[in-house]
Amino acid sequence: MTTNNNNELLSNAYDAFNRRDIDEVLATMDENVHWPNGWEGGYVHGYDGVRDYWTRQWAALNPKVVPVSFKEMEDGRIETLVQQTVKDLQDNIVFDGTVKHIYTISNGLITQMEIVEV
So what's the pLDDT on residue 103?
98
So what's the pLDDT on residue 69?
97
pTM of the shown model: 0.94
Total structural domains within the chain: 1
CATH code of the domain covering residue 110:
3.10.450.50
List pLDDT tens digits, range 45-59.
999 999 999 999 999
DSSP characters for the chain? --HHHHHHHHHHHHHHHHTT-HHHHHTTEEEEEEEE-TTTSSEEEHHHHHHHHHHHHHHHEEEEEEEEEEEE-TTS-EEEEEEEEEEETTS-EEEEEEEEEEEEEETTEEEEEEEEE-
So what's the pLDDT on residue 52?
97
* Owning domain of residue 52: 3-117
Residues of the chain with pLDDT under 70: 1
